[in-house]
């Protein structure tokens, strides 16, 4: 039995916030709610008003926001043992969040009831039942999260099943089977979820964690046996190894299993919503993330690239654009002339396969790779190499000299680096200097101070990423280093690369490329015919 | 049917090298082979001698390395159409790698044969058969990778099955079902792998990609229906979304399914091997990685921490130490003391659990970790931290000052860095200077020149490895850097670490630790009672 109507329940703001390093401001939460609603999730679990008083302000603010479809849910636990639900402080807080939907979690594992909660198995059933009934009396839709359902079932299947039966009887709209510890195998999910479904007349959901790398697969397997509510976090963040990644589950349900949970247009927002949430959460979305990662449709092997050019299904399981992502060909030592031609034609469409420049550029890139360059993700430098060969380049300044000084101990007691630099632009010489955190930071500052005199637009530029890779590190401090920097002017980001035995020189090469790339782009924006 | 004897086949050095940003040096590859062999994988696929001539040198060098268990495999394709296997250049290269095992991939999807290879379905079967027979004649064990087996089966099951039947008949030791595009669902893997197994008398393997986040689950599902050979990469790296992550598959097979594929002691190396491979590959192992990530057993919620303290199975699916990882509490500061005690007792067996130094050392290491230090593989620095607190340390020299100079262009036209240094040893001052490839190399040389006057044994010391990692790279050139150096005196190797916003200072910290560690060890060897 497969149910084509599956609710998508996002817990980025509640279970996701349990992830290491995650801390949302109120504004962050509002932005994420809007993005999740926009793409069409069914429920947004937005906080735990009982345990986190900061969440209360959010629940006040969110009532002013008009949402298209999503229902906001507040999360809390069953009442404590041996008190009335109406006397429980956490349940009062849960109610005061004033949401239409509340999620109540309770214990389904007998061991947790007796050893952690220190109460009786019967009282735990009463806690579940009373809490749900009380909240329904208050007009709420109640979703019941059966914590540790799978571990509980394996230890005492009868008791685990009794917890969800009690919850359903008390009026829960959905009972959710939680793999709280994340260690359950797909075949176990299949069998246990099937058994739960056959015991419950209403909606059954699934909530998985990724501790053995199965959260996505387990959610899908559960959908195949008939659950109709999937909980997760949009990009998989959460405690320990994270929660089920909805940005992988949603497209699989729709594209591979025929569940029309969101429409095509919303599906095409998948990548941008995932990246937006990563940005707001200040975490790096792994390039390899299924469907939405930067490398999800990136091809490196020359043979693969050739085949994808013939027919994309050769090495792509879906059309990248259907989820708003795009195909990339990585320029590497294994990539062929056709990859490079397609890169050239993005900037210079008039260059054809027969143009002699194609071979010269290919050879030059290979030569640089042999020296230790790597062009994946360094499209700024690649463009400059092409421009220099095609003749669409002029230098923007001439370096006369720079000098780096560093000493320990220094006058102010801290380790400091300083740089003096002398450049010429249009016949005018400029001398400048800067101190910085390390020689490269000082060099970056000094160069930009000197050039801003001539190119004030460089004031908008800042470095957003700096990576150092020691090549063949066994030559130790004599080894070559590769420096990759990413820059932004607030509108566009670009990356450049430099290689040298000297880290200062490698950084210098990448810095110069970064500045030249910016200045070329500015001219192109203003005067289309400049070159 | 479940086979308890499953081969683990690692392709980090071949398919893993297709990942974005991955580029291994020869020395990197040798180190990774040793680590994989040490933990007990069955096969190591180490390169594609046909497409990458650089790999040939590796295959020469690896023959000198004595391995415990692992068999080295070279990878290549079936012969081209309409030529003889012995005339195929790639097959010649494959043979000249001179490995006992070769992996041959061939097409199993009819569409790929006719549209990409542009040959006939019959000729493709001949290509598979001829290539395998030819290589077996040359004395090889041949593993056949059936590329796109699942997509092929869905389009034309009869043809897909015929490719593996032909391969088995030609003598392949194992036929491997590849989900090349990574879009197959677990139930499809189950059904199609079962069908393949029922058609093949011998060994059947699985090779999954993670494009829908199912590579690990699909590998496990395949093992449950009887495949006995699993291909993947140790930490999941690979083209697009990566390959099946063996560091998640191995512990699940052993701890949850009873396959004794590696022994307990090797399993306890899982985390350190995963982190070592990440370090060598210069990629960041995601904290959330199942089993081996830094957060895999990290608890943030207070309620969860309380429950884990009562009984770890409350929120941990396995004992973290069984895979060499450890529990962390993100808010409280309760963790780690027992681990640190056992490290201390390795050097100072007289220190007991009650000694006040244990807490002081624990606090100091945590403080340094908070600043960005990482002590895995930096045992030299850890020992010095312990010695300083226990009082078994004296400084060997005093730095008066050093000054670093670098300039471009310089007198000799090359970019040069030079360092002047002034140190005092036993009341005697020594001034010295050196030029080098970059400021750190110059500093290393100058420091050792100055100290060799007093400690001639430092002449034997050289750096064998130097790694730089930019921490929080989004702060760009102002970010902190961590420098890890490995030194040797020809008898012993040791590693030390330094962290600073300034790469010169971070390197200085690691260099000083390296020299002090060496001098302490020498004294201990000569005068056991020195301290």
Give residue B316's pLDDT.
Answer: 95
Chain B residues close to A440, C-beta within 8 Å: 477, 503
CA A531 to chain B, closest CA, distance in angstroms equals 30
Q: Rounded CA gap, A344 and A260, in Å?
A: 40
Q: Are B332 and B366 in contact (CB under 8 A)?
A: no
Q: Rounded CA gap, B183 and B172, in Å?
A: 26
Q: Is the pLDDT of residue A332 over 70?
A: no
In chain B, what's the furthest Cα-to-Cα distance?
A: 85
Chain B residues close to A186, C-beta within 8 Å: 186, 217, 220-221
CATH class for domain B297-335? Answer: few secondary structures
CATH code, A7-262: 3.20.20.70
Of B211, B287, B478, the CB nearest to A441: B478
Structure tokens at B147: 């590329």
Give residue B331's pLDDT.
Answer: 42
Q: If we measure between CA atoms, which residue out of A121, A278, A143, A123 comes closest to residue A202? A: A143
**A373 band by pLDDT with thresholds 50, 70 and 90:** confident
**A411 band by pLDDT with thresholds 50, 70 and 90:** low
Q: How far apart are the first and last CA of chain A?
A: 64
pLDDT in tens, A112-160: 999 999 999 999 999 999 999 999 999 999 999 999 999 999 999 999 9
Give residue B376's pLDDT.
Answer: 62
Q: Provide the mean pLDDT of chain B.
A: 90
pLDDT in tens, B76-118: 999 999 999 999 999 999 999 999 999 999 999 999 999 999 9
Q: Rounded CA gap, B293 and B286, in Å?
A: 6
| Stretch among A36-40, A69-73, A468-472, B26-30 having the lowest mean pLDDT | A468-472
> What chain A residue is nearest to B289 in terms of C-alpha separation?
A241
Residue with tokens 């020869």: B26
Mean pLDDT of B326-333: 61
Give the residue from B189, B372, B406 with the most A CB atoms within 10 Å of its CB, the best one to mutate. Answer: B406
CA A502 to chain B, closest CA, distance in angstroms equals 4
Phi, then psi, of A483 in degrees rounded to 5: -115, 130
Number of helices (H), then strands (E), in chain B:
19, 16
- Classify the phi-psi angles of B21: left when phi > 0, otherwise alpha if psi is within -120 to 50, otherwise beta: left
Q: Is the pLDDT of residue B2 over 70?
A: no
Give residue B330's pLDDT.
Answer: 60
Give residue A529's pLDDT.
Answer: 38
Q: Between these two residues, A410 and B389, which has the higher pLDDT value?
A: B389
Architecture of domain A398-526: 2-Layer Sandwich (3.30)
Q: Provide the mean pLDDT of chain A.
A: 90
The contacts of residue A284 (CB under 8 Å, 6+ apart) are A278
Give residue B463's pLDDT.
Answer: 84
CB atoms within 10 A of CB A511: 22
Q: Is the pLDDT of residue B3 over 70?
A: no
Q: Rounded CA gap, A322 and A308, in Å?
A: 17
SS3 per-residue string spanning B435-480: EECCHHHHHHHHHHHHHHCCCHHHHHCEEEEEEEEECCHHHHHHCC
Q: Rounded CA gap, B241 and B239, in Å?
A: 6
Q: Between these two residues, B223 and A484, which has the higher pLDDT value?
A: B223
Q: Rounded CA gap, B320 and B80, in Å?
A: 49
Q: Rounded CA gap, B28 and A262, in Å?
A: 46
Q: Are A270 and B234 in contact (CB under 8 A)?
A: no
Q: Rounded CA gap, A317 and B182, in Å?
A: 7
Chain B residues close to A334, C-beta within 8 Å: 51-52
Give residue B377's pLDDT.
Answer: 63
Q: Does A216 sit within 8 Å of B214, measured CB to CB?
A: yes
Give the residue from B288, B294, B483 with the most A CB atoms within 10 Å of its CB, the best one to mutate. Answer: B288
> What chain B residue is nearest to A116 in terms of C-alpha separation?
B307
**A248 band by pLDDT with thresholds 50, 70 and 90:** very high
In chain A, what's the furthest Cα-to-Cα distance?
A: 89
**A3 band by pLDDT with thresholds 50, 70 and 90:** very low
C-alpha dist (Å) from residue A529 to A392, A394, A519, A521: 11, 14, 15, 12
Give residue B337's pLDDT.
Answer: 65
| Burial readout B12-27 (b: 16 or more C-beta within 10 A, e: otherwise) | bbbbbbbbbbbbbbbb
H/E element holding A330?
Answer: none
Mean pLDDT of B120-145: 98
Q: Are B294 and B323 in contact (CB under 8 A)?
A: no
Chain B residues close to A472, C-beta within 8 Å: 25, 27
Percent of chain B predicted with pLDDT > 70: 93
| Stretch among A125-129, A172-176, A440-444, B316-320 having the lowest mean pLDDT | A440-444
**A368 band by pLDDT with thresholds 50, 70 and 90:** confident
Give residue A36's pLDDT.
Answer: 97
3-class secondary structure, A426: coil
pLDDT in tens, A316-331: 999 999 999 988 887 6
Q: How far apart are the first and last CA of chain B?
A: 62
Q: What are the extents of the domains in chain A?
A: 7-262, 398-526
| Stretch among A477-486, B250-259, B393-402 having the lowest mean pLDDT | A477-486
Give start and end residues of each alpha helix (H) in A182-262: 186-199, 215-224, 246-251, 257
**B344 band by pLDDT with thresholds 50, 70 and 90:** confident
Give residue B327's pLDDT.
Answer: 86
Q: Rounded CA gap, A290 and A279, in Å?
A: 17
Q: Does A477 sit within 8 Å of B466, measured CB to CB?
A: yes
Architecture of domain B7-281: Alpha-Beta Barrel (3.20)
Give residue A285's pLDDT.
Answer: 85
3-class secondary structure, A135: helix
Q: Between these two residues, B203 and A24, which has the higher pLDDT value?
A: B203
Q: Rounded CA gap, B511 and B507, in Å?
A: 6
Give residue B475's pLDDT.
Answer: 67
Q: Is the pLDDT of residue B269 over 70?
A: yes
Distance of CA A395 to the CA centre of its chain: 38
Q: Does B406 sit within 8 Å of A404, measured CB to CB?
A: yes
Q: Rounded CA gap, A510 and A20, in Å?
A: 33
Q: Is the pLDDT of residue B333 over 60?
A: no
> What chain B residue is nearest to A308 in terms of C-alpha separation?
B116
Q: Is the pLDDT of residue A265 over 60?
A: yes
Q: Does A444 sit within 8 Å of B415, measured CB to CB?
A: no
The contacts of residue A289 (CB under 8 Å, 6+ apart) are A235, A236, A245, A247, A248, A274, A296, B241
pLDDT in tens, B452-485: 999 999 998 888 778 887 776 666 677 788 888 8
Q: If we measure between CA atoms, which residue out of A489, A481, A490 comes closest to residue A510? A: A481
Q: Does B403 sit within 8 Å of A211, measured CB to CB?
A: no
Mean pLDDT of A270-274: 93
Give residue A4's pLDDT.
Answer: 60
DSSP state of A322: G
Give residue B303's pLDDT.
Answer: 77
Give residue A365's pLDDT.
Answer: 86
Q: Are B406 and B415 in contact (CB under 8 A)?
A: yes
Chain A residues close to B237, C-beta within 8 Å: 288
**A450 band by pLDDT with thresholds 50, 70 and 90:** very high
Give residue A1's pLDDT.
Answer: 38
Q: If we measure between CA atoms, which residue out of B234, B198, B212 comes closest to residue B16? A: B234
Q: If we measure between CA atoms, which residue out of A219, A211, A212, A215 comes closest to residue A241? A: A211
Give residue B481's pLDDT.
Answer: 85
Q: How many CB pairs under 8 A join A and B?
A: 350
> What chain A residue is nearest to B285 in terms of C-alpha separation?
A286
Q: Rounded CA gap, A229 and A244, in Å?
A: 13
Q: Rounded CA gap, A193 and A195, in Å?
A: 5
Beta pairing, strands A481-488 & A493-500 = antiparallel
Q: Rounded CA gap, A71 and A68, in Å?
A: 9
Give residue B338's pLDDT.
Answer: 63
Burial class (CB in 10 A: 0-12, 13-18, 19+), B459: exposed
Mean pLDDT of B38-65: 89
Q: Does B239 sit within 8 Å of A298, measured CB to CB?
A: yes
Q: Does A213 sit within 8 Å of B216, measured CB to CB?
A: yes
Q: Does B477 sit within 8 Å of A438, measured CB to CB?
A: yes
Whether B297-335 and B7-281 are alike in CATH topology: the answer is no
Chain B residues close to A314, C-beta within 8 Å: 112, 116
CA A530 to chain B, closest CA, distance in angstroms equals 32
Mean pLDDT of A425-447: 92
Give residue B4's pLDDT.
Answer: 60
Structure tokens at B393: 């340390």
Mean pLDDT of A473-488: 78
Asked if this assembly's ipTM is beyond 0.90, the reply is no
pLDDT in tens, B147-184: 999 999 999 999 999 999 999 999 999 999 999 999 99
Strand pairing partners for B429? B424
Structure tokens at A469: 């890779």
């Amino acid at each position: 039995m497969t149910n084509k109507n599956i609710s998508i329940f996002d817990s980025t703001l509640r279970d996701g916030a349990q992830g290491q390093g995650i801390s949302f401001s109120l504004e962050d939460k509002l932005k994420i709610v809007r993005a999740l609603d926009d793409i069409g999730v069914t429920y947004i679990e937005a906080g735990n008003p009982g345990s986190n008083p900061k969440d209360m302000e959010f629940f006040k603010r969110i009532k002013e926001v008009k949402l298209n479809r999503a229902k906001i849910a507040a999360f809390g636990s069953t009442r404590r043992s041996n008190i009335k639900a109406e006397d429980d402080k956490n349940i009062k807080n849960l109610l005061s969040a004033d949401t239409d939907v509340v999620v109540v979690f309770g214990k389904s594992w007998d061991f947790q009831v007796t050893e952690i909660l220190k109460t009786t198995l019967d009282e735990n059933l009463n806690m579940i039942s009373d809490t749900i009934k009380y909240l329904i009396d208050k007009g709420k839709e109640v979703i019941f999260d059966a914590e540790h359902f799978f571990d509980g079932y394996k230890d005492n299947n009868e008791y685990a099943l009794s917890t969800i039966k009690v919850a359903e009887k008390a009026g829960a709209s959905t009972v959710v089977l939680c793999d709280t510890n994340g260690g359950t195998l797909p075949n176990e999910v299949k069998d246990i979820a099937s058994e739960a479904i056959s015991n419950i007349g209403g909606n059954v959901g699934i909530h998985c964690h990724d501790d053995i790398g199965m959260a996505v697969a387990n959610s899908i397997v559960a959908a195949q046996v008939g659950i109709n509510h999937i909980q997760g976090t949009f990009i998989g963040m959460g405690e320990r190894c994270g929660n089920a990644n909805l940005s992988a589950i949603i497209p699989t349900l729709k594209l591979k299993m025929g569940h029309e949970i969101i429409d095509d247009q919303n599906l095409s927002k998948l990548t941008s919503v995932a990246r937006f949430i990563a940005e707001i959460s200040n975490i790096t979305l792994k390039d390899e993330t299924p469907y939405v990662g930067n490398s999800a449709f990136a091809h490196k092997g020359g043979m693969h690239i050739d085949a994808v050019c013939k027919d994309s299904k050769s090495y792509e399981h879906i059309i990248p654009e259907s989820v708003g992502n795009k195909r990339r060909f990585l320029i590497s030592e294994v990539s062929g002339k056709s990859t490079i031609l397609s890169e050239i034609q993005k900037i210079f469409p008039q260059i054809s396969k027969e143009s002699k420049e194609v071979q010269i550029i290919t050879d030059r890139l290979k030569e640089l790779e042999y020296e230790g360059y790597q062009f994946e993700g360094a499209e700024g430098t690649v463009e400059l190499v092409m421009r220099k060969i095609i003749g669409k380049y002029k230098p923007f300044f001439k370096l006369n000299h720079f000098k780096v000084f560093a000493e320990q101990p220094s006058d102010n007691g801290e380790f400091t680096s300083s740089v003096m630099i002398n450049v010429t632009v249009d016949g005018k010489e400029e001398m400048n200097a800067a101190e910085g955190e390390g020689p490269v930071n000082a060099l970056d500052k000094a160069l930009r101070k000197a050039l801003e005199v001539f190119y004030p637009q460089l004031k908008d530029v800042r470095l957003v990423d700096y990576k150092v890779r020691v090549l063949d590190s066994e030559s130790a401090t004599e080894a070559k280093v590769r420096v990759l920097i990413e820059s932004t002017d607030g509108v566009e980001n670009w990356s450049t690369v430099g290689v040298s035995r000297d880290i200062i020189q490698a950084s210098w090469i990448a810095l110069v490329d970064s500045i030249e790339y910016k200045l070329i782009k500015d001219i192109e924006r203003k005067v289309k015919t400049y070159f």
